[in-house]
């Protein structure tokens, strides 16, 4: 929780510092046509932030952009086969998954499900535990329901 609060605080500071230098929505080079950047996920590695997005319908690949300052972004590259390798098949979770690693080293997997967000403990990077309904909703419900 401490890590999450620190991250939110950092983004608040970043937003204030860069408020005059960018607009929202930000459009990046080579977004998926007619789709843009759906389900964005940002990962930090060695001081660089990487933005990944979902693939639409039968488009091939996962697009990725990088930045150090959230203003200047690289051109998109397709990164679905290098440097990634498949570690396991679908782990039985539906859509929009994200991993969170707590300061104490515990891993959690969060994903959309039904009308809420579900959280699952992880014992290792390829094992996801049972769903726990977090009763987290946006507005009057959750935006994506798959049957």
Whether the pLDDT of residue 52 is over 60: the answer is yes
The pTM assigned to this predicted structure is: 0.58
Q: What is the pLDDT of residue 68?
A: 95
Domain boundaries, the chain: 29-82, 95-130
Q: What is the pLDDT of residues 60-100, one digit of tens each?
A: 778 889 999 988 899 888 876 576 676 776 666 766 778 88
HEC string of 65-128 equals EEECCCCCCCCCEECCCCCCCCCCCCCCCCEEEEEEECCCCCEEEEEEECCEEEEEEEEECCEE
Q: What is the pLDDT of residue 145?
A: 46
Better-predicted residue by pLDDT, 58 or 11:
58
In this prediction, what percent of the chain has a pLDDT beyond 70?
A: 62
Coil/strand/helix, residue 56:
coil
Nearest to 65 by CA among 82, 47, 53: 53
Q: What is the pLDDT of residues 23-43, one digit of tens each?
A: 666 788 888 777 778 778 888
């Amino acid at each position: 929780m401490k890590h999450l609060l620190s991250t939110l605080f950092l983004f608040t500071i970043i937003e204030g510092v860069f408020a005059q230098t960018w607009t929202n929505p930000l459009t990046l080079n080579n977004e998926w046509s007619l789709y843009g950047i759906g389900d964005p996920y940002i990962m930090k590695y060695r001081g660089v932030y990487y933005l990944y997005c979902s693939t639409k319908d039968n488009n091939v690949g996962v697009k990725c952009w990088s930045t150090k300052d959230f203003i200047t972004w690289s051109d998109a590259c397709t990164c679905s086969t290098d440097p990634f390798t498949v570690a396991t098949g679908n782990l039985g979770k539906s859509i929009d998954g994200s991993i969170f690693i707590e300061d104490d080293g515990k891993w959690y997997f969060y994903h959309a499900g039904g009308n809420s967000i579900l959280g699952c403990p992880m014992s290792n990077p390829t094992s996801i535990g049972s769903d726990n309904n977090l009763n987290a909703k946006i507005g009057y419900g959750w935006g994506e329901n798959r049957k």
